[in-house]
Amino acid sequence: MALMIDGQAHYVGRTIQVMYKAEHEEALVMEEDGTTKLIRVLHGPAPTEDATPEVLKILADQHKAKAQKYHDRAEESFQRCDTDGFLSQWALEHNAELERLIAGLAENAFRTIFPGLYEGDRRVKAKEIQTKFGTCWLLHEDEKALIAKRGKPFLPTGNGSRILKGLGLEERDETAPAYAKHGKHRPYIFRTGDQWGGDAVLCEEA
């Protein structure tokens, strides 16, 4: 059996054809008896059990190769000094950066480190949001006690905050499912699972 990506075979125990879509990546798996099934591999809350280490490594290598191609094209554009070279190089390098981010995530089973809000060892149901004043924590409506103490569902970020300390809260590193996409200024990594941290794992426990 072989993993087929872009027409090339990679032997990992069965045949899989990876297909790229906007929301996720799917794989057509051929079993030993000749039957096939379609599975979602990426972009979900977490990689499925079908996303074996071999599959993840191949995906990582593929995204690394794409990153290198974008970088090489940007370098070629720079050497030519095209009239519109600056914009072309900017776009190509951003694409290269995005592919590098995805490759790094693939090497870690599409999980990465995010800050989480904790009350002792309990993960507070909260998510980071962007406002006109910057980043802050938004408490879920289920956190009635904390919202009552605070008087509103918004909390500042950072362990230097006296408000967090006064509420007995702290930010701690956690791992959670993640992917990457283009942002306004540059590519960035985002949570793909429970935005309120329900699927996060404390780094000390990871």
pLDDT reported for residue 83 = 54
pLDDT reported for residue 167 = 98
Query: How many of the other CB atoms lie within 10 Å of CB of 54?
Result: 15
Give me the mean pLDDT over the 163-175 stretch.
97
CA distance 167 to 82: 57
pTM: predicted TM-score of the whole model, two decimal places:
0.72
Q: Where are the domains of the chain?
A: 3-106, 111-202
141 DSSP β-pair partners: none
- Which amino acid type is present at position 112? T
pLDDT reported for residue 166 = 97
CA distance 54 to 41: 13
CA distance 108 to 53: 9
CA distance 43 to 24: 5
CA distance 191 to 142: 21
Write b or e for each residue in 125-150: b if 16 or more Cβ atoms lie within 10 A of its Cβ, otherwise e: bbbbeeeeeeeebbbbeebeebbeeb
26 DSSP β-pair partners: 19, 40
CA distance 140 to 50: 33
Tell me the per-residue pLDDT of 120-135, one tens digit each, with 9 for 90 and over: 999 999 999 999 989 9
The two structure tokens encoding residue 206? 């990871």
Q: Is 109 left (phi over 0), alpha (psi -120 to 50) or beta?
A: left
- Which amino acid type is present at position 38? L
| 22-36, 71-85, 114-128: segment of lowest average pLDDT | 22-36
Mean pLDDT for the chain? 79
CA distance 16 to 59: 12
CA distance 43 to 37: 18
pLDDT reported for residue 45 = 36
